[in-house]
Structure 1
Amino acid sequence: MREFLSHHGVSFTENFVDKDPEALEAFKKTGSRGTPTILVGDETVIGFDRGRLEQLLGIN
């Protein structure tokens, strides 16, 4: 995930739900039960879904 985003010049913030209580609360609000959970604007992507991320980020 990190490599994919960095390779495409996408800035991101990585949060660790097991170490950051605020990140855990934000994670719970998404309704997700899996990681990684990626937020792109108002869209939530659960797991590394390359095709969906490319679509949301406008990557060809």
Structure 2
Amino acid sequence: MANIKVYSAPWCVYCKMVKAFLEENKIQYREVDIEKDDKAREEMVAKTGSLSIPVTDIDGEIIIGFDKPAIKKALNLK
């Protein structure tokens, strides 16, 4: 099982889309609210060089935004 972390914020529509996609495919993930967790926000910026969200970290593969094809590829979904 992949180790998945989704960096998000409650107001972010694309973050909700990423989480819904993962849930529809019964994929477990850990959500990190970058507005509440300063350390996680800093970690995300260190990985991406950006404050853009959502950021999905799938076993170290970083996907910025709701890029369904990239997420499917990283998870080996058809």
**Fold similarity call, TM over 0.5:** yes
CA displacement at 1:13 relative to structure 2? 0.7
What letter matches 1:26 in structure 2?
Answer: E
TM-score norm. by structure 1 comes to 0.89
- Aligned residue for 1:3? 20
Deviating runs (4+, > 6 A) in structure 1? none
Q: What residue ranges of structure 1 are gaps of 5+ in the alignment?
A: none
- Aligned residue for 1:17? 34
Q: What residue ranges of structure 2 are gaps of 5+ in the alignment?
A: 1-17
- Aligned residue for 2:7? none
Higher relative contact order (CA 8 A, sep 6+): 2
Identity %: 27
Higher strand share: 2
Distance (Å, rounded) in 1 between the aligned partners of 2:36 and 2:51: 17
CA displacement, residues 21-56 of structure 1 (integer Å, 9 cap, x when unaligned) = 121121121123310011011210000000000000
State the secondary structure of the residue aligned to 1:59. coil
